[in-house]
């Protein structure tokens, strides 16, 4: 018995059935192996996305970067002095996407015409009609906040596609963590080498913690709970792309729901407010 073979054409039909359309901006998280056999490989999937959203649509991915020195930082976020000269700087044009974000991130980053934002840890890559706009002027501190590709995805009424990817990997929810008015959010600092005019410059970054839930008391994989509860309100769509169980949600609705979810559970109670 031969397994079903998916093509650029059949994948595009499935994406349209899921709710993706012309001129959409879509942030894609994908577990490519779960999609099954694709004639032409992962590039055929990216081509299918382009076929659906058209020339003016935009595909975004969350890249982060392969900062393999991060576990060497001390409690204050400082790099061991003996290693400073050995750590390659972050270069938006050449630094690899973090492998944990899936092959889709690096495949999009290296596509002809791709643009990548300048915040190392929160960096995103984009291809398509508004790639430059989405990735420009990314804030270096608090890179999931108001001056980020995530905020622009919300502003543009874009969408998030989880193509076989675990729901707790939806990076848009880091933007919600930034926006939520809740006490006790953990702040982290880290020294990061970045490439500036061909020279390595060390810069100290400040960010809300994205390696764990932003406040104590939340389950480690709580993002999945938030997404499932949002889907239960019928404002997102479940379907299949290739062989992969997939989810498509509106970015603005998802972010707003997540902010309110966090504030309802972690915000100051009325009795504690001045």
The answer on pLDDT for 274 being more than 50 is no
The answer on pLDDT for 270 being more than 60 is no
The answer on pLDDT for 232 being more than 70 is yes
pTM for the whole thing? 0.94
Q: What is the reported pLDDT for 3?
A: 67
- Separation CA 70–CA 184 (nearest Å): 24
Determine which of 1-10, 27-36, 101-110, 227-236 has the lowest per-residue pLDDT on average. 1-10
What is the pLDDT averaged over residues 203-216?
A: 94
Q: Which residues contact 190 (CB under 8 A, 6 or more apart)?
A: 70, 73, 77, 204, 205, 207
Give percent of the chain with pLDDT exceeding 90: 87
Alpha carbon distances (Å) from 184 to 179, 208, 215: 13, 10, 6
Q: How many residues appear in the chain?
A: 274
Boundaries of every domain in the chain: 5-66+96-180+224-272
Q: Is 19 left (phi over 0), alpha (psi -120 to 50) or beta?
A: left
Q: Which residues pair with 189 in a beta bridge?
A: 206
Q: What is the reported pLDDT for 267?
A: 86
- Separation CA 35–CA 163 (nearest Å): 8
- Separation CA 195–CA 206 (nearest Å): 18
Give the residue from 110, 158, 111 showing the smallest Cα distance to 134: 158
The answer on pLDDT for 211 being more than 80 is yes
Give the residue from 106, 126, 107 showing the smallest Cα distance to 116: 126
């Amino acid at each position: 018995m031969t397994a079903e073979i998916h093509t650029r054409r059949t994948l595009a039909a499935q994406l349209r059935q899921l709710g993706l359309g012309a001129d959409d901006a879509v942030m894609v998280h994908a577990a490519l192996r779960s999609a099954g056999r694709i004639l032409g490989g992962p590039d055929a999937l990216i081509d299918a996305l382009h076929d659906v959203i058209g020339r003016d649509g935009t595909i975004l991915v969350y890249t982060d970067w392969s900062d393999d020195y991060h576990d060497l930082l001390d409690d204050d976020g400082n790099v061991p002095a003996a290693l400073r000269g050995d750590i390659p700087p972050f270069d938006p044009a050449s630094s690899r996407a973090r492998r944990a974000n899936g092959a889709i991130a690096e495949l999009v980053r290296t596509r002809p015409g791709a643009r990548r934002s300048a915040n190392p840890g929160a960096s995103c890559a984009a291809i398509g009609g508004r790639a430059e706009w989405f990735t420009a002027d990314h804030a270096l501190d608090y890179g999931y906040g108001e001056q980020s590709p995530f905020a622009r995805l919300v502003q543009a009424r874009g969408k998030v596609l989880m193509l076989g990817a675990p729901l707790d990997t939806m990076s848009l929810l880091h933007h919600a963590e930034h926006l939520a008015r809740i006490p006790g959010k953990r702040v982290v600092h880290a020294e990061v080498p970045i490439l500036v005019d061909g020279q390595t410059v060390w810069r100290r970054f400040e960010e809300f913690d994205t390696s764990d839930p932003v406040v104590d008391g939340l389950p480690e994989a709580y993002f999945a709970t938030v997404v499932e509860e949002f889907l239960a309100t019928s404002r997102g769509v479940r379907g299949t792309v290739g062989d992969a169980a997939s989810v498509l949600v509106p970015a603005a609705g998802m972010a707003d729901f997540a902010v309110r979810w966090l504030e309802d559970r972690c915000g100051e109670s009325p009795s504690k407010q001045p």
